[in-house]
A and B are shown apart, each in its own frame.
Chain A
Amino acid sequence: QEQLVESGGGVVQPGRSLRLSCAASGFTFSRYGMHWVRQAPGKGLEWVAVTSVDGSDKFYGDSVKGRFTISRDNSRNTLSLQMNSLRADDTATYYCAKELSFNRFDLWGQGTLVTVSP
């Protein structure tokens, strides 16, 4: 069955970097746009970034633009999020999600928790 599994979360100090990964299985990864969405503790969902099917187009939320980089490796069915210059307000559970069609996120991973703390 279709599945997304995130990894790479943990505790990191402000200003440091962290790289998240999302392993896809059960579907043709290279056919779909892929997203990262996050949820800070007690807050709502926040869209973070998207990459097109071949990685040529990437867009970011205003709060992470210039600090985060989304990428994908279609040969390994893997989505990544490189997070630099982390801040306390980046503390959140990060989900990867598959976009079946425009703004239709039909498959989500279980999430990985990132905590930015001194």
Chain B
Amino acid sequence: QSALTQPASVSGSPGQSITVSCTGTSSDVGGYNYVSWYQHHPGKVPKLMIYDVSSRPSGVSNRFSGSKSGNTASLTISGLQAEDEADYYCSSFTSGSSRYVFGTGTKVTVL
């Protein structure tokens, strides 16, 4: 099972919106609405930001939103803030023998 493909880095200025993509196949992202996104600050614990493609856990800012089209899922951060600077990982359920897969990770930088 290969990792889902994410851009290595995405950047934006405070207040702007950015989108992080997550590309898989019909066996994972495209086949299930079980895509999640995690925010990971170095040295800290990963935090769930989006689940089931577009649902947001309580306590997560509504500046974070998720969507999916075909085999590609996306995380959009609107009104970018300095505290959003972190690594972001997508994850999907998969029909492969391993059942779960993470993306390659994207470093979000606030300029």
Pull 23 A–B residue pairs with CB atoms less than 8 Å apart, ordered by A: A35-B100, A44-B102, A44-B105, A45-B46, A45-B89, A46-B3, A47-B98, A47-B102, A50-B100, A60-B98, A62-B97, A95-B46, A97-B46, A102-B34, A102-B52, A103-B91, A104-B34, A104-B51, A105-B46, A105-B48, A105-B91, A106-B48, A111-B45
The residue on A at minimum CB distance from B91 is A103
A1 to B105, CA, bound (A): 29
Query: Which DSSP category, helix, strand, loop or mixed, fits chain A's interface?
Result: strand
Which of under 10, 10 to 19, 20 to 34, or 35 or more describes the interface residues of B?
20 to 34
Question: Which B residues contact A (CB, under 8 angstroms)?
Answer: 1, 3, 32, 34-36, 38, 40, 45-48, 51-52, 57, 87, 89, 91-93, 97-105
Q: Across the A-B interface, how many residue pairs have beta carbons closer than 8 Å?
A: 72
Give the complex CA separation of A95 and B47 in angstroms.
Answer: 12
Query: A108 at interface (Cβ–Cβ under 8 A)?
Result: yes
- B105/A105 in contact, CB under 8 A: no
Q: Is A27 an interface position by the 8 A CB rule?
A: no
